[in-house]
Structure 1
Amino acid sequence: MSLKFDLQSDFKVNGRLLDRITVTVFRINQAAQRGKLRKVKRVLAKALDAAWMQGIVGADMPGRVKCGPGLRLPHGGRGIAIHPDVVIGSDVAIFPRVMLGRGGPKRSVPQIANGATIYTGAVVVGPVLVGEKARVGANSTVSRDVAPRSTVQGVPAMEVDRATTWAK
């Protein structure tokens, strides 16, 4: 998608200034990684990313991350760590101190489907698919697939609710 479209979608779900600045810096860094910016602007994008994401917010959200529009980062995405190869769908909410990383025997990374919500402190590692509109509870550790429209929580994460009719 385009930087403008992604930002418009992100701004619809991020009302606070801190949240909007964080998604803006993330999207600019994504555009720089895709080569959509001139060299001077790419250098500025990396500097902005280092200053804002790592210096102020304490997040590691590389521009290589594939992420659909409508990314919601409550509390400005503080403390989020995402492996560069993670794939995130559209309309996903990621709360503070979430880690999405490599793990397992093949050192694969998670995929987060459209509409999923990952709450504070959750860790999702390995070749895991978090299904569409699934919810990962706070401080949970996910190392297995999460079914669509289900809720998992705990260490290790276990399914606690599956609703086929609930909507976000």
Structure 2
Amino acid sequence: MTMDPVYRCYSVARWLAGHRMRIFAYAVRAFMRMVFACDVPYAARVGAGTKFPHHALAVVIHPDAVIGESCTISHQVTIGGRKGLKEVPIIGDRVLVGCGAKLLGPIVVGDDAVIGAGAVVLSDVPAGATAVGVPARIVDGERS
């Protein structure tokens, strides 16, 4: 299995920052901004096996965000805070986030959930559920 190039850059930057080489971690982050047009900060916690199709074009992730393992984050996705709220999203394992989706504020997205393209998620999404719309609503419960 080959590692996603955006995830690889993120991993290198995180390793550099963890070994007191933050200036180089910032350089990797700048490289990601220029080459992939995305902002995946090394401070964010992104699980192993996470993929960024289309090389994370226009993806923006808050430095305090938590993303589980084996997720798929499509292009033009924002995972961040909301004005007046300090907490940011926590995303479970194997979550699919469709293109253009916005996950904002102190929300939890359960394992195996699907966030539809263009959805604006402002509240929790249970495990296995599908959320679509603006604001997002659950259209599909637990999957078998």
- Normalized against structure 1, the TM-score is what? 0.79
Match of 1:47 in 2: 27
Counterpart amino acid of residue 52 in structure 2: L
Aligned residues between the structures: 144
- Offset from partner CA, 1:11-50 (integer Å, 9 cap, x none): 3xx5xxxxx3222111101112222xx64xx534432321
Residue 22 in structure 1 maps to residue 6 in structure 2:
yes
The change in CA–CA distance for 1:47 and 1:105 in structure 2 (over 3 A counts) is: closer
Please identify runs of 4+ aligned residues in structure 1 that moved more than 2 A: 42-46, 104-107
Range 142-151 or range 64-73, more displaced: 64-73
Are 1:99 and 2:83 counterparts?
Answer: no
Alignment partner of 1:126 out of 105, 117, 120: 105
Say if 2:24 is the partner of 1:34. Answer: no
Q: What amino acid maps onto 1:22 in structure 2? A: V
Tell me which residue corresponds to 1:159.
138
List aligned pairs for 1:61-140, cutoff 5 A: 61-103=40-82, 105-140=84-119
* Aligned-pair identity (%): 31
- Tell me by how many angstroms 1:105 deviates: 4.3
CA distance in 2, matches of 1:82, 1:21: 16
RMSD: 1.6
User: Relative to total residues, which structure has the larger helix share, 1 or 2?
Assistant: 1
> Structure 2: any 5+ residue segments left out of the alignment?
none
Cα separation, 2, equivalents of 1:48 and 1:34: 14
Deviation at 1:141, TM superposition (A): 0.2
Q: How many Å apart are 1:104 and its aligned residue?
A: 5.8
Alpha-carbon shift at residue 137 of structure 1 (Å): 0.2
